[in-house]
């Protein structure tokens, strides 16, 4: 307990304050645009949304400090417990799962809690630690088949379990992108990536048959202009959100003044498609500002990772950067019509309590690596001299 309190004080003094400030700036900007996006009549007032987001940010800051203080070496030694925790958390979707009006059974609805919790968001944090622990144990032969298959085993367990229980392809793919980012930065041979691409190309016709028709159409409309050319079915959300995104011009129509946003005509305008709402009300410059802020957080994670001398802490930072990069790329791509709709929020901007808290917690791992860039595990085993 005393050691943990020392770590907590150390995290407060040596943690990455710059990264925390960046997160607070982005979160504050997000609260402002959420207030505007939820002021439409169909939301019945935006006070509730603002209050939940504010509470989430405050909890997120506490989680950031808490995660900064954790001993990564201790967690690495107990990765089996984290694997069991992930499985248990996802299995709770069987009795307590709800779709939260999204079509995917991705949220836990506990009777005594006022909000729903997305367990895959929590698993995202523990998966980064598990993956880093596995890679660190194989770092001297990271491209050996045994090492790669060990990493793949953990990926397929989490990806398969989440897909089977929630059917949420978007969140499941985050695990895949974390795996790719950490494997690449950790030194896995490019031949493995080439082999994976080849296997996906061979297996794709078979995997395609297991997708639902609506999932297939979400992909096909990116390439086939003959599908719903009038934009009344599959392309409807693409059309409306792209019109909103481009309708603000350079400077936008102004906060609380967007035609479609304030009319409540956008789908998920405070969550998945908040970038379109920003484009309408704050224009091109507002969208550029969002991208700069998001990329600044990602760049900071990469910088801290490069700075770390310890292998495990380095790949943890790259794992966090990969998760954020994937979410930003998919969310913005959905709004401009270059990515399929798979329901991912814009980090720290979109409304969503569990998303905000878990992103702060995930970035707390990066802050911990910044505070302690080298392993200190030997201190727990060496008895200090007492004269």
Domain boundaries, the chain: 2-375
Which letter does DSSP use for residue 109 in this model?
Answer: -
Between residues 262 and 358, the one the model is more confident about: 358
pLDDT band at residue 385 using 50, 70 and 90 as cut-offs: very low
Q: Give CA–CA dist 262/283, Å, rounded.
A: 15
Q: Read off the pLDDT of residues 276-335 as tens digits, 9 standing for 90 and up.
A: 999 999 999 999 999 999 999 999 999 999 999 899 999 999 999 999 999 999 999 888
Cα dihedral 201, 203, 206, 207 sign: negative
| Average pLDDT of the chain to the nearest whole number | 86
Q: Phi/psi of residue 97, each to 5°?
A: -70, 145
pLDDT score of 379 more than 80:
no
pLDDT score of 126 more than 80:
yes
Q: Give CA–CA dist 134/150, Å, rounded.
A: 7
- Region 358-381: mean pLDDT is 80
Please name the residue that has the structure tokens 């909103």. Answer: 244
Task: Find the range with the poorest average confidence among 29-38, 160-169, 207-216, 366-375.
Answer: 207-216
Highest mean pLDDT among 49-58, 96-105, 107-116: 49-58
pLDDT score of 153 more than 80:
yes
Which pLDDT value is given to residue 383? 42
Contact 97, 165 (CB under 8 A): yes
pLDDT score of 265 more than 70:
yes
């Amino acid at each position: 307990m005393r050691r943990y309190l020392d770590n907590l004080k150390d995290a407060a003094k040596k943690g990455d304050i710059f990264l925390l400030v960046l997160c607070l700036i982005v979160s504050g900007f997000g609260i402002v645009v959420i207030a505007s996006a939820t002021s439409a009549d169909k939301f019945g007032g935006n006070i509730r949304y603002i209050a939940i987001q504010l509470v989430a940010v405050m909890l997120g800051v506490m989680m950031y400090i808490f995660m900064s203080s954790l001993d990564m070496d201790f967690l690495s030694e107990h990765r089996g417990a984290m694997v069991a925790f992930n499985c248990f958390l996802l299995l709770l979707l069987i009795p307590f799962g709800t779709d939260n009006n999204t079509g995917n059974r991705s949220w836990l609805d506990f009777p005594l809690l006022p909000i729903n919790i997305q367990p895959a968001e929590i698993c995202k944090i523990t998966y980064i630690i598990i993956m880093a622990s596995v890679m660190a144990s194989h770092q001297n032969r990271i491209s050996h088949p045994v090492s790669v298959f060990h990493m793949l085993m953990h990926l397929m367990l989490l990806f398969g379990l989440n897909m089977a229980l929630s059917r949420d392809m978007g969140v499941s793919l985050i695990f895949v992108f974390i795996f790719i980012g950490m494997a690449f930065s950790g030194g896995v041979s490019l031949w493995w990536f080439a082999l994976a691409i080849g296997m996906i190309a061979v297996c794709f016709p078979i995997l395609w048959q297991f997708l639902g028709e609506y999932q297939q159409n979400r992909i096909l409309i990116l390439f086939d202009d003959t599908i719903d050319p009038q934009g009344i079915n599959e392309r409807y959300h693409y059309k409306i959100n792209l019109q909103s995104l481009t309708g603000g011009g350079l400077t936008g129509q102004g906060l609380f003044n967007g035609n479609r946003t304030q009319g409540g005509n956008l789908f998920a305008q405070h969550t998945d498609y908040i970038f379109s709402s920003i484009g309408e009300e704050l224009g091109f410059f507002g969208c550029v500002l969002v991208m700069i802020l998001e990329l600044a957080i990602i760049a900071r994670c990469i910088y801290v990772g490069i700075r770390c001398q310890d292998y495990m802490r380095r790949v943890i930072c790259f794992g966090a950067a990969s998760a954020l990069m994937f979410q930003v790329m998919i969310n913005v791509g959905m709004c401009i019509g270059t990515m399929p709709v798979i329901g991912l929020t814009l980090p720290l901007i979109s409304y969503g309590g569990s998303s905000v808290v878990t992103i702060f917690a995930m970035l707390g791992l990066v802050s911990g690596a910044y505070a302690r860039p080298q392993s200190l595990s030997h201190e727990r085993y060496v008895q200090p001299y007492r004269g």
